[in-house]
């Protein structure tokens, strides 16, 4: 175990297909304890698929995946997951507290009555993201930034060692994003957790992470954030998508004002 000390995620030569089409190929990806990394790439580049492979909910065709030295299916309880935002929308009313409790049991848990200790744990986690005061409100009535914080609480409530966040900044203003990044820093500092953040905007994410992976079917770059920002590197990885990548988030913010 000591030889593996610090190694939280390890992917080697991974190949993934959907319906016969290769969506990830030759993927080598490592993450150390306490590291915060970003996976950046264009739509359809395979970012969400990569998270699903780490979670063990998408099978690989070739290669190996280890999470904390184990197959992903055996490391489920060590992982917290914030899905891409559309997955979150729910047609039935659930409270903020319910959403956090789901992080303990999965969806079926909604129909089982949580114990007092579990509710206290969920309230405590909501407090850590400054959302305890909204615990009994319907989740759908919250603003985007508030929903994002609750999503983080849901991902954190089981005290994971690895946090996987799929586009956590979608639809969220710059101020909320900054407080969110401070929150990640806090959890890294206090609990030493490792974080993978999926984003489509390398410019927004580069200042807050240790390393950046540029993903578009292959990993075209994995290293210092500054290296990922080099125009030649972006063009190699994304070609015509470069302008979209760098400006998309800012334009989104502009139009929300
Ligand atoms: N359940 C699925 N069935 C079939 N194809 C899929 C499925 N999920 C993803 N794909 C395909 O796999 C490729 C990678 O998708 P993925 O969702 O990983 O991209 P992404 O980088 O997360 O994109 P986005 O930025 O739009 O979220 C795409 O071509 C997509 O159409
Ligand atoms: Mg995605």
Q: Quick check: 108 pLDDT over 50?
A: no
Residues 6+ apart with CB under 8 A from 41: 47, 200, 214, 215, 216, 237, 238
Ligand 1 atom at shortest distance from the alpha carbon of 49 = 18
Query: Using an 8 Å Cβ cutoff, are 153 and 128 in contact?
Result: yes
Ligand nearest to the CA of 248: 1
Asked if 56 and 66 touch (Cβ cutoff 8 Å), the reply is no
Measured distance CA(43)–CA(113) in Å, rounded: 39
Q: In this prediction, what percent of the chain has a pLDDT beyond 70?
A: 84
pLDDT band with cut points at 50, 70 and 90 for residue 103:
confident
DSSP alpha helix (H) spans, the chain: 47-55, 96-105, 116-128, 144-156, 174-191, 202-205, 225-228, 231-238, 242-256
Q: Is the pLDDT of residue 9 over 90?
A: yes
- Which of 236, 195, 186 minimizes the C-alpha distance to 214? 236
pLDDT at 143: 84
Measured in Å, residue 42 CA sits from the centre of ligand 1 at: 11
Confidence of residue 257 (pLDDT cuts 50, 70, 90): very low
Cβ–Cβ < 8 Å for 38, 205: yes
Between the CA of 2 and the centroid of ligand 1 the distance, in Å, is 36
pLDDT at position 247 over 60: no
Determine the Cα–Cα distance for residues 66 and 40; give it in Å rounded to an integer.
21
pLDDT tens per residue across span 143-153:
878 888 888 88
pLDDT at 249: 43
Mean pLDDT, residues 115-119: 87
How far are the Cα atoms of 91, 100, 133, 137 from residue 118, in angstroms, in the given order? Answer: 25, 10, 17, 18
Residues 182-198, mean pLDDT to the nearest whole number: 88
pLDDT tier at 107, thresholds 50, 70, 90: very low
Mean pLDDT check: name the lowest of 41-45, 113-117, 207-211.
Answer: 113-117
Percentage of residues of the chain with pLDDT beyond 90: 47
Give the separation between CA 203 and CA 200, rounded to whole angstroms. Answer: 9
What is the mean predicted confidence (pLDDT) over 17-31? 97
pLDDT tops 80 at residue 252? no
Q: What is the mean pLDDT of the chain?
A: 83
> Ligand 1: residues within 6 Å at CB?
18-19, 23, 41, 43-49, 84, 200
CATH classification code of 2-221: 3.40.50.300
43 C-alpha vs ligand 2 centroid, how far in Å? 7
What are the pLDDT digits (tens) for 55-87? 999 999 999 999 999 999 999 889 999 888 754
pLDDT at 199 over 90: no
Could you state, in order of their start, the residue ranges of all structural domains in the chain? 2-221
Tell me the best of 18, 196, 245 to mutate to test the pocket of ligand 1, counting ligand atoms within 8 Å of each CB and taking the most: 18
Q: Which atom of ligand 1 is nearest to the CA of 50?
A: 18
């Amino acid at each position: 175990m000591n030889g593996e000390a610090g190694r939280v995620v390890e992917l080697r030569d991974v190949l993934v297909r959907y319906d016969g089409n290769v969506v990830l190929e030759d993927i080598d990806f490592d993450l150390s304890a306490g590291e915060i990394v970003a996976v950046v790439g264009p739509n359809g580049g395979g970012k969400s698929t990569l998270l699903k492979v780490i979670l063990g909910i998408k099978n690989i065709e070739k290669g190996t995946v280890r999470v904390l030295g184990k197959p992903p299916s055996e490391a489920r309880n060590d992982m917290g997951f914030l899905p891409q935002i559309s997955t979150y929308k729910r047609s039935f009313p659930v409270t903020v507290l319910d959403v956090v409790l789901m992080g303990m049991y999965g969806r079926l848990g909604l129909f089982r009555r949580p114990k007092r200790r579990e509710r206290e744990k969920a309230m405590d986690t909501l407090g850590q993201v400054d959302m305890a005061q909204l615990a009994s409100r319907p989740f759908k009535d919250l603003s985007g930034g508030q929903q994002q914080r609750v999503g983080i609480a849901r991902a954190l409530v089981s005290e994971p060692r690895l946090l996987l966040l799929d586009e956590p900044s979608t639809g969220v203003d710059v101020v909320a994003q900054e407080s969110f990044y401070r929150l990640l820093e806090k959890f890294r500092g206090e609990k030493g957790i490792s974080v993978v953040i999926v984003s489509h905007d390398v410019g927004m994410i580069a200042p807050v992470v240790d390393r950046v992976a540029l993903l578009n079917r292959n990993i075209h770059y994995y290293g210092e954030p500054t290296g990922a920002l080099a125009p030649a590197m972006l063009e190699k990885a994304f070609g015509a998508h470069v302008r979209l990548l760098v400006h998309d988030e800012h334009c989104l913010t502009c139009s929300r004002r």
